[in-house]
Homo-oligomer: A and B are copies of this chain.
Amino acid sequence: MTRSELIEQIKSKKNFLCVGLDPDIEKMPKHILNDEDDPIYEFNKKIIDATAPYCVAFKPNTAFYEAYGLNGIESLENTIKYIKQNYPNHFLIADAKRGDIGNTSSMYAKAFFSRLNCDAITVAPYMGSDSVKPFLKFEGKWAIALGLTSNEGAADFQMQKVDGRELYLNVIETCASWGTKDNMMFVVGATKAEMLDAIRKIIPDHFLLVPGVGAQGGSLADVCKHGLTKDIGLLVNSSRGIIYASNGKDFAEKAGAEAKKMADEMAQFVK
């Protein structure tokens, strides 16, 4: 999906919500576990159908599938196919945080872009240019580099000073120089919204993928205040807050309602 297509989706749907598909069988409704051959896929399908009208993107986190081995990977592949077939205009992000030496990153890019046909993949920047660039060679595909993450551990390295400013600013500026606003985005946690001012000085136009609203405590209003651009420039993700809104028979309905609530809140920011 190109940048202009993504912006068009956001403007027509009047939201910039990304629903994180992080299935954890310990949190999923019991009746799904008992009833279905592939409970993860069945759970995802219902969540996707219920939330699709209120979001522009889906983001499966690969860890939650890998944890269940071959069956889990099959659930992931089926989920991706389901989204591609039924919701081809939704932006599909593989949250995999991959990154390795050049020839190995190329293998990952092939896996997620050529085979699975995802629109984007999250990448870890620590290994530098040749670990990120292979993801930028696919027409209409995106690398989403970790900039400033939403977790506690972000302080350990990302906020350390390099040449008088925080490492994450350095990482964002350097990664941005390898691609363009048409094939790169950055992960910037909502829990640190005020830091978006400094980030927007470096990358005024790039899209940001923003986790941390909801379960992790970030505020949508703060994120918009500091991060919004004329093209919106934000994909705000919520995972647990939406998909585990209920663990009863009404889980999909409640997830849809939760997504709608966030989408409604976003509408005021989409002119």
Partner-B contacts on A (CB < 8 A): 22, 24, 61, 63-64, 66-70, 73-74, 77, 97-102, 104-105, 107-108, 110-111, 115-116, 124-132, 146, 149-158, 160-163, 167, 170-171, 174
Contacts and interface: CB of A to CB of B under 8 A. Distances in A.
6 contacts: A22-B104, A67-B110, A68-B111, A127-B154, A162-B167, A167-B167
Copies per complex of this chain: 2
B174 A102 contact: no
A110 to B, nearest CB: 5
B104 A61 contact: yes
A160 B170 contact: yes
Contact of A115 (B64, B67, B146, B154): B67
A192 to B, nearest CB: 13
A67 B111 contact: yes
Contact of A69 (B108, B111, B157, B163): B111
Given A99-B97, A105-B63, A151 B130 contact: yes
A171 to B, nearest CB: 6
B127 A153 contact: yes
Given A73-B73, A77-B70, A156-B174, A99 B124 contact: yes
Contacts of A154: 127-128
Nearest to A101: B151
A69 B70 CA distance: 10
B107 A129 contact: no
